[in-house]
Amino acid sequence: LAGNVSEAFTVPTLQDLYYPGYSNPDLLPEKSRDSDATLVADGARGSLSLGWFGRSGSNFIVLDPVTFIPYNAQRAQTAGFTITARSKTVSGLIADASFTDLYRALDLTTRARLPRSPVGQASAGITRPFGATRTAFGLRFGVVGSDGDDAANVPPPLVGRYDSYTSIDAYVRYKLSREGILSVRGFNLGNDREAPIFGYPNVGRHIVVELSTR
């Protein structure tokens, strides 16, 4: 069992303050009180954890879904919980799955939900670390729920949903030598059409090749 209570502040970035046409030079720093608690049960076949997190404060920097200009929400509050399961190593493989429910993301001044705050996110993956072999690989599937951005921006008769999406990522790594590793990583392998901010789509299917030292 672990818990945390803290206070924090976050200053606006240079992009928030000065990006031409989509910035706000009058932004104030965020101030917040953060708390979280996590309970972990560890067994012979793996572990299961349940966590809760909450944040409340003033001047949260959020992006207007219509103008794309950041502004300070005078008072805001977020809260959610996360469930994560992770298996022990079986034949060199490790499986994991997680779900996050952001059930509260509220501008306390307007009583509206904060933009860019999807209610649900989930992921599942399987990996095999190097261990005694020269190869390692992993595969991950993720789902992100809608944050309501499309409802405000997609004009009829268009009905596409681009702010909710799925992702499939994978990688393979090979030890060329004791100190050298070749990695091939694939992202958005399903080539899902996604735009967490309407009009600004993410990159489609792409492959990255890396050469690195251990």
pLDDT at 209: 97
**What is the pLDDT at residue 152?**
66
Give the closest residue to 13 by CA, choosing from 33, 38, 30: 30
For the chain (length 214 residues), average pLDDT per consecutive 10?
94 93 93 95 95 94 85 92 95 95 91 86 96 93 85 68 88 93 96 80 92 88
Strands (E) in the chain, as ranges, are 2-10, 30-42, 46-63, 70-87, 94-107, 112-113, 120-128, 135-144, 165-175, 180-187, 206-213
User: Which residue, 77, 67, 159, is CA-closest to 112?
Assistant: 77
Residue 55 pairs in a beta bridge with 34, 78
pLDDT at 162: 76
Asked if 175 and 132 touch (Cβ cutoff 8 Å), the reply is: no
C-alpha–C-alpha distance, residues 38 and 121, integer Å: 18
pLDDT of res. 197: 74
| CA separation for the pair 159, 114 (Å, rounded) | 23
Q: Are 188 and 168 in contact (CB under 8 A)?
A: yes
Report residue 151: phi and psi, to 5°: -60, -30
Rounded to two decimals, what is the model's pTM? Answer: 0.79
Q: Prior bond to 29 cis, omega within 30? A: no
pLDDT for the residue 164? 86
Residue 158: what pLDDT? Answer: 66
Which residue type occupies 80? G
Do residues 165 and 190 make contact, with C-beta atoms less than 8 angstroms apart? no
